[in-house]
Amino acid sequence: MLAASRNHTVRDLATRLPVVRRTVDRFVPGEGVEDALRAVREIKASGRLATIDTLGEDTTTTAAASAATQANITLVRSLADAGLTDVAEVSLKASALGQALPGGAELALENAQRIASAAAEAGTTVTLDAEDHTTTDATHALVDALRHEFAGTGTVLQAMLFRTEADAARFAGPGSRVRLCKGAYAEPASVAHQSPADVRAAFQRCLAVLVAGEGYPMIATHDPAMITAALGQLLVAGRSVDSYEFQMLYGVRPDEQLRLAREGHRVRVYVPYGVDWYGYYMRRLAEKPANLALLGRALVSR
Ligand code: FAD
């Protein structure tokens, strides 16, 4: 599934099938900004927070990177107009902002600065998603540069990468906002833990570094074992409920999201929207075989 997530032929075929589109709805509230705003209003009404991803990645032209930038600026302004910036921030992918193009580091920074500036004006923040390991250094450099001007810029660390414990220590300083997730990309054994048990153990070690630090850990997992372990670590460290948050994906374990929110924990929902849902959707299928079975049943019954 992860290989297919980057295959253009499979993408072109899959995105043309209405039956596939229907199974996508569970994970993506829609293709327009209005759809994202509707989802955020529902999330707000239930006492949760949101981070919104305008879907798109691996941009191959400067024009597409500019369009992605403009789409995020429009999103931020729409959030402000709708009075939702108190609960919603924005998640960005550096590859959507042109990181892989020639001169990409400067281009992605310039585009990210424009979005972060619009976000700051609207009273909210941005977080840079983590993509595959070949981009980690470039994205961390981008976050470092953005944080000079926009201190609230968040970063994402992937526990599966061997390097992440050291990165967690580097990002655990005062004022940092760090999302810790397991990692959604197929990474080679030379750079990443391969077994679920090793990834879980690494997740707990990285989280311990963040929880002991002075920043704001954002614990992004649906895994009951990781949530229990995190609650234990937070309790032992004496962390107050406003000094961390849990994060989960739109459409995944909504009951658990609500349970944690009812218990007084901050819970932020990652809300992706847009036409370019293919790569995101394939990664969700890869995470859970039952999602694939759902798609299989829909295809058979059409
Ligand atoms: P898993 O062991 O995969 O899942 C535990 C349980 O959660 C499963 O048994 C199932 O009940 C449920 N579950 C998990 N995934 C699904 C699914 N797709 N559909 C249905 N049920 C599911 N990865 C990156 O590489 N970069 C990022 O920037 C990034 N940002 C993220 C932001 C948020 C808010 C979250 C929650 C995840 C993000 N991820 C990102 C994805 C992450 O790395 C994992 O791939 C994903 O969260 C699955 O790992 P898990 O910890 O939930 O545990």
Confirm whether 112 is domain-assigned.
yes
Among the listed residues 129, 132, 167, 276, the single catalytic one is: 129
Confirm whether 233 is domain-assigned.
yes
pLDDT-above-70 percentage for the chain: 94
CA–centroid distance, 67 to ligand 1, in Å, is: 28
**Cβ within 8 Å of residue 165, ≥6 positions away:** 202, 205, 206, 209
pLDDT-above-90 percentage for the chain: 81
Whether residue 34 contacts residue 40, with contact meaning beta carbons closer than 8 Å, is answered with no
Condensed to tens digits (0 to 9), the pLDDT of residues 227-271 reads 999 999 999 999 999 999 999 999 999 999 999 999 999 999 999
Q: How confident is the model at residue 57 (pLDDT cuts 50, 70, 90)?
A: confident
CA 182 to ligand 1: nearest atom? 43
Does residue 301 or residue 150 have the better pLDDT?
Answer: 150
Give residue 128's domain range. Answer: 28-276
Confirm whether 94 is domain-assigned.
yes
Residue with the nearest Cα to atom 36 of ligand 1?
248
The CATH number covering residue 199 comes to: 3.20.20.220
Condensed to tens digits (0 to 9), the pLDDT of residues 11-44 reads 666 666 777 777 888 899 999 999 999 999 999 9
Residue with the nearest Cα to atom 5 of ligand 1?
223
Is 16 a known active-site residue? no
> What's the whole-model pTM score?
0.93
Q: Is 39 in the pocket of ligand 1 (CB under 6 A)?
A: no
Q: Is 11 annotated as a binding residue?
A: no
Is 21 a known active-site residue? no
Q: Is 222 annotated as a binding residue?
A: yes
C-alpha dist (Å) from residue 152 to 2, 128, 157, 186: 31, 11, 16, 29
56 DSSP 8-state letter: -
Query: Would you list the DSSP string of 257-284?
Result: HHHHHHTT--EEEEEEESS--HHHHHHH
Q: Is 153 annotated as a binding residue?
A: no
Task: For tokens 């955020």, name the residue.
Answer: 40
Q: Which residues are registered as beta bridge partners of 272?
A: 53
Q: Which residues are registered as beta bridge partners of 161?
A: 192
Phi, psi for 79 (deg, rounded to 5): -60, -40
Among the listed residues 179, 200, 266, 268, the single catalytic one is: 179
CA 91 to ligand 1: nearest atom? 28
Condensed to tens digits (0 to 9), the pLDDT of residues 148-178 reads 999 999 999 999 999 999 999 999 999 999 9
pLDDT score for 143: 98
pLDDT score for 196: 97
Mean predicted confidence (pLDDT) in 86-113: 97
Three-class secondary structure assignment of 211-243: HHCCCEEEEECCCHHHHHHHHHHHHHHCCCCCC
Q: Is 181 in the pocket of ligand 1 (CB under 6 A)?
A: yes
Confirm whether 11 is domain-assigned.
no
Q: At what angle do helices 278-287 and 289-300 cross, to 10 degrees?
A: 110
Confirm whether 52 is domain-assigned.
yes
pLDDT score for 189: 98
Q: Is 184 annotated as a binding residue?
A: yes
Does residue 293 or residue 93 have the better pLDDT?
Answer: 93
Report how many domains make up the chain. 1
Residue 51, SS3 per DSSP: strand
Q: Given CA atoms 125, 130, 135, 137 in this order, what sign does their dihedral have? A: positive
Cα distance between residue 256 and residue 1, in whole Å: 26
Confirm whether 292 is domain-assigned.
no
CA–centroid distance, 121 to ligand 1, in Å, is: 31
Cα distance between residue 28 and residue 196, in whole Å: 26
Confirm whether 2 is domain-assigned.
no
Q: Is the pLDDT of residue 201 over 90?
A: yes
CA–centroid distance, 148 to ligand 1, in Å, is: 30
User: Can you say whether residue 30 is alpha, beta or left, with left for phi > 0 and alpha for psi between -120 and 50 degrees?
Assistant: left
Helix ranges restricted to H, the chain: 8-15, 18-24, 33-45, 62-81, 104-122, 136-149, 164-170, 196-212, 224-237, 254-262, 278-287, 289-300
Cα distance between residue 210 and residue 168, in whole Å: 6
CA–centroid distance, 184 to ligand 1, in Å, is: 7
* Mean per-residue pLDDT of the chain: 93
Whether residue 180 contacts residue 218, with contact meaning beta carbons closer than 8 Å, is answered with yes
Q: How confident is the model at residue 199 (pLDDT cuts 50, 70, 90)?
A: very high
pLDDT score for 302: 52
pLDDT score for 165: 98
Mutate to test the pocket of ligand 1, among 58, 182, 206, 266 (most ligand atoms within 8 A of CB): 182
CA–centroid distance, 284 to ligand 1, in Å, is: 8
Confirm whether 42 is domain-assigned.
yes
Mean predicted confidence (pLDDT) in 33-60: 96
Residue with the nearest Cα to atom 20 of ligand 1?
252
